[in-house]
Amino acid sequence: MLMAVGLHRPQRFASPPPVIAASQNPKLSCYSLRKTETFRFGFRFWPVKFRALAVKKQLKIRETDSIEREKFSIQEKCDSGGLDLGWVPAFPHVLVASMYNLLFGYHIGVMNGPIISIARELGFEGNPILEGLVVSIFIGGAFVGSISSGTLADKFGFRRTFQMDTIPLILGAILSAQAHTLEEILLGRFLVGLGIGVNTVLVPIYISEVAPTKYRGTLGTLCQIGTCLGIILSLFLGIPAEDNPHWWRVMFYVASIPGLIIGLGMQFAVDSPRWLCKVGSQNAAEEIIRKLWGESEVDKAIEEFKSVIKTDGSDLDSRWLELIEEPHSRGCMVSSRSPLGFNGPKRKKNPYY
């Protein structure tokens, strides 16, 4: 007896099932089995099964790798105490230098409140030209100071330049506080501007050369933070000027205090390792890098300094008129929007716009 195994769909006509018909009449078996629509079970989709297995294996491998990475990172954090303290050795030096920006912001806002009292006491009240001159001559002095900053830093180094820069800052603040004529306060404001122009250019460069590469951007934000804090401090101290017409003298005396702190703090700060390498003090540069950056960065940093120093001075034949030519003209136009025009004209390889 011939048997057929399968699933069939029911037919509309009333005929016996093909199995029964085949058993009664063998001639109908082939015809009946050929016409029957069956659904067979087999290995039709076996590539999909193997693909699914491969994907599962890849997922397991990725999960294993991610778990190992997490364990490795956790182990690193445990080994370092859970904190990244690589910025700590350079932070005191960066903080002292950033106090210059605190003075910059302070002198920007120091004239906002007491300008009326100053004009009344010094005899130019109601003259907007002289009032504007007392305020704006500070920026004029800063422009002159920014031009000379590169030459001073190349000759004396950053640390000594910062210490010399505190002299016009302190003298200008005291002279402004003791001014009894228009000429005296103009001279005091101009001297303060000279000091501010020098350090506004050199402080960002000093931080970038002292701070480790990994933390250079983070520590560099202290400049902007110092400027903002200085403006806030000057506006806060200017509140009593509305009731006390002589309070502006106290505000200028206060401006001399950070200069004294900076001059003393720079005595304990390090100099730029790039400048030390440039003047031939390679051992001192290596010691500073080893102290602030780590032993592993010494050889790499010295090689970079030497390569930069080797190419330094290759643009001595450049002209000032190149600033208004393409493609430098666009950068010069953008830099003119800054408070000091442009910074660091002597350092064309590292412009700060």
Element (H, E) at 272: none
Alpha-carbon gap, residue 259 to 196, rounded angstroms = 11
| pLDDT of the residue at 63 | 59
Task: Please state which CATH number belongs to domain 91-271.
Answer: 1.20.1250.20
Alpha-carbon gap, residue 78 to 86, rounded angstroms = 15
Alpha-carbon gap, residue 121 to 135, rounded angstroms = 16
Element (H, E) at 322: none
Alpha-carbon gap, residue 57 to 158, rounded angstroms = 59
Alpha-carbon gap, residue 134 to 103, rounded angstroms = 18
Residue written as tokens 């953008």? 334
| pLDDT of the residue at 202 | 94
Give yes or no for a contact between 141 and 339, defined as CB atoms under 8 angstroms apart.
no
The domain ranges of the chain are 15-44, 50-83, 91-271
352 DSSP β-pair partners = 343
Give yes or no for a contact between 252 and 169, defined as CB atoms under 8 angstroms apart.
no
Per-residue pLDDT tens listing for the chain (353 residues): 344 444 444 444 444 544 444 444 444 444 444 444 444 444 444 454 445 455 555 655 565 555 555 544 444 444 445 577 788 889 999 999 999 999 999 999 999 889 999 999 999 988 999 999 999 999 999 999 999 999 999 999 999 999 999 999 999 999 999 999 999 999 999 999 999 999 999 999 999 999 988 898 889 999 999 999 999 999 999 999 888 989 999 999 999 999 999 999 999 999 999 999 888 888 999 999 998 888 888 888 888 888 877 776 555 566 767 767 766 666 666 555 544 444 433 443 333 33
| pLDDT of the residue at 166 | 94
Alpha-carbon gap, residue 129 to 212, rounded angstroms = 47
Give yes or no for a contact between 138 and 335, defined as CB atoms under 8 angstroms apart.
no
Amino acid identity, position 275? W
